[in-house]
Amino acid sequence: MGEHFMKTFSKLLFNRIILIMFLLVFVGTLTTSNLNGLVIGTLLMIILIVVSALILFGHLFKFNYVTVGQKVWLVVKQGWTALGLMVVLQLTLVTSLMGVNGFNSGLIKWAVTSNTLSEGSYLYNDFVRYPNHFSLMLIERGIYHVTRSMGITNLNLVFVILNIILIDGAMAILYLILRRSLKRMSVWGLVPICILLSPRLVVFSNDSLLLFSITLVIFAAQLLIIEFNSGFSNYVKIILTNVMLGCGGFMAYLARPSSFILGLVLLVAMLVAIGKRKHKNAQFIKGIILGALILILTIGGLTGINQKNTTQQTIITNNSALKLLPSYYVMLGMNASTMGNYSQIDEQYSASFTKRNAQRAANTKVIKQRLKKFGVLGYVRFLVQKNYHTTSDGTFAGLLDEPQGTAHFKFIRSFFFKFDKHVTIYKTIAQVFWIMITLGLLLSILDTSPLMRILQLTQFSFLIVLLISEGGDGSFMLGLVPVTYVLALVGWSRLRKSVQDRSILQVNPAGITTLVDHLIPGAH
């Protein structure tokens, strides 16, 4: 009985803690300055005027709106219509925003075209302190040389094409994941995420690779769960799934080391599931061994290739002692002046200690000083504010800031540049979509399937890491977009199913069943 009580208590505690965290994210999206009342009012007024005009037109000319509406709906609901809309949107943005360079994008272009870097230069220091940046640059450098050998010398064009492949590839994989999770999935379900991500098509950064890699890992995890339930009967699928899992996980780690959380959660969930499984026949055990072997070989092989490339290059001198330690990111995450975001002062301070033990001790000293200065209540207040700055922005801090002074496509550009004439319209539209997504994230607690539980725990763990380490900026949420979006659409789907099956607020002989009772399975 005591064991049963602890399991029930742990389950309720797990659900309620995650629910509180997701609720904080949702509430934050409602209080952001991205929402502009004038824009919302204007859009609603336009809709009202158009609807009123159509009704008046129909009344005057005896127009049969029902018949026409049915025909229009038959066309609109088709996936090809949504796909066409997204293609037009992306082509319009790529054409009109082409040539824009973000800070990170400019650094990447500088790095891939340089044969050597001067010791002490900005890029040299960056690559020595953040080895994952250097590994990614070598891959991008290889792509640059391959395309140049093919006669393609426009580096901007190469990176835009690479960005389109990564971002659209991520959305395509998201569609496959959601179609399997929801049993039915319209292409229209990708339109909101397309609107949020498309302005980033022209500004290449490592976040594009992170988006694709995380999505690939989720897809592989979904296939792995299916194979687990079937008893690992298909060895070909086991091999392909674990190759995808290894490649996606490795690339995600290079793009952002904290993304190892998804792999860690998946590993723990799989070990627990294997331990609880009652029937473990020879085929099942062989499948586990084969999958583990393929995964280790894939990650080991990619790690070996990466180490070989980094040791044989002549661009920088490798020095592992200069790498910034995890304690640096914790220290950075407690910087009140930057709300836990990057601080050049903190970086230079940590980098000034060229021995690992000395750097660790120095970082720990600052961490203790900052904790003492905050106090318990002050630190809690800081974490709440930091969570708001990290999770509330529907543009993911992705507004463009280098208009290049061109007069071409000035109207379209004015929606996406900071402080430009129509930027409030895009910010409001993006924020409305983000509010609906985070509300769906909150509703995802209704789903307790294995994959959703893994993603819920991953989302929660990511948010905790962003609280205690570097964060405080909407761009850090980009790595979570695939996880958040899958949970959001599944959450909305589960709400609709709950409403169809039985009213969420319904009076019955057992009493009133509230939304909170549904959001916390096992509360009764």
Q: Each residue of 416-454: pLDDT tens digit? A: 888 788 889 999 999 999 999 999 999 998 888 899 999
Task: Write the DSSP symbol of residue 204.
Answer: -
DSSP assignment, residue 325?
P
Q: What is the predicted pLDDT for the residue at 496? A: 85
CA distance 103 to 209: 17
Residues 6+ apart with CB under 8 A from 134: 127, 128, 310, 316
User: What's the whole-model pTM score?
Assistant: 0.89
Over the stretch 160-199, which tens digit does the pLDDT of each residue have?
888 899 999 999 999 999 999 988 788 889 999 999 998 8
- Hey, which residues does 511 pair with through a beta bridge? 508
Ordered alpha helix ranges (H), 256-281: 260-276
Q: Which two tokens stand for residue 412?
A: 């379209």
Residue pair 434/394 in contact (Cβ under 8 Å)? The answer is yes
- Res 317: pLDDT: 78
Q: CA angle, 397 as apex, 256 and 421 as ends, to 5°? A: 155
Listed residue (200, 203, 102, 175) closest to 430, CA to CA: 200
Task: Pick the more confident residue, 472 or 517.
Answer: 472
pLDDT attached to residue 12 = 62
pLDDT of residue 54 exceeding 80: no
Residue 179 tokens read as: 């179609």
Of 343, 317, 349, the C-alpha closest to 131 is 317
